[in-house]
Amino acid sequence: MSKANASFSSSTVAADLLAHAFKSLISRSHIDPSLVEDISVGNVLAPGAGATEFRAAALLAGFPETAALRAVNRQCSSGLQACVDIANAIRCGMIDVGVGAGVESMSSNYGPGAVSEFSETLDNHREAKNCKVPMGVLSEQMASDRKITREVQDAFAARSFQKAEAAQKAGKFREEIAPMKVKWVDPKTEEEKELVVDKDDGIRPGMTAEGLKKIRPAFKEGGSIHAGNASQVSDGAAAVLLMKRSTAERLGQKIVGRFVCSSIVGVKPLLMGIGPWKAIPVALQKAGIGKDDVDIWEINEAFASQCLWCVKELGLDESKVNPNGGAIAFGHPLGCTGARQVSTLFNELARTGKKVGVTSMCVGTGMGMAAVWVKE
């Protein structure tokens, strides 16, 4: 993942990012592309969720025309929704093999144009109108209402940066990153260069809570939320190969883990950030487990305020939450995050010899999503 508009990936469109993720999935898994029956891609900002260009990206990557594709937009949970859709299609017998993916080029599509204008009818309905309140504004209000101080937010954000920096230095992200050649124009010389992007470039070394204190509030004079304690605007893509266990065994595919169940819930639009707090208990109940049975939690850090509040309210052991940092440190390419979390989770479960993990995130307009996964 790379910083939007300020890094080497900023000139690479979403479809190209996705095609690269697809190619890496095929080469790493050695799957015969003709066996893939359906592909679901999460995306938030591209027109039509990128359905046309993403189908083209799949063909470019080596999937035959027999591999169908659809685009999914459930805001920040789009990548997870894509994976869950494929898992459920397999579970119900619709397909045997599929790919759940997510991609976002916030360099290309992020901005006011990403949200269409509301009609007079919608604007005249109080709760409906709340769906278009910017997430930073409503998160600032939530932090104020629930007395989540800037100090605790900055401390949480600093820990995210520190964990991510340590993980990157230890090479913990290498297994989940597919290095990509990109063309980049040097802004100083205007010379076009070909470079290899092989690490997340949003991680700021040496970050401390003291350093974060110097950053000005972004949404309100005297507010608590700023660029250092909120998720970064980023570009990225991720893809997950899913199939029936019997099919994997027949093909000799290494079984990394299994999808258990997921949950999706709604909350008030102005309380979007509490989504994980409501979604996680539902997913745990469906799985028949308790919070103490979970070894690792990957909870998206949309804002330090909301993530920290959810962790505290759920009574989670913070040492198990985002052990290698989160979106504050390395970015939140909206449609990509849910799929990326699956890879991050399984790699960490494998490294630590743990078994049960949960991925979760808050979702724009007032929702929350969570999923339970088990390492084999």
Each as own residue / partner, the long-range contacts of residues 187-195 (CB below 8 Å, 24 or more positions apart, any chain) are 195/8
Pairing of strands 2-3, 234-243: antiparallel
Neighbours of 208 (CB within 10 A): 13
Residues 6 or more apart in contact with residue 6 via CB below 8 angstroms: none
Contacts 24+ apart (CB under 8 A), 4-8: 4/105, 4/106, 4/107, 4/110, 4/232, 4/233, 4/234, 4/235, 4/333, 5/106, 5/107, 5/233, 7/197, 7/201, 7/235, 8/182, 8/184, 8/195, 8/197, 8/201
Instruction: Determine the Cα–Cα distance for residues 143 and 141; give it in Å rounded to an integer.
Output: 5
Query: What CA–CA distance (Å, rounded) separates 201 from 114?
Result: 25
Would you please indicate which residues are annotated as catalytic (active-site) residues?
76, 332, 362
Which one, of 331, 338, 332, 330, lies nearest residue 359 by Cα? 338
The CA-CA-CA angle for residues 79, 52, 185, to 5°, reads 80
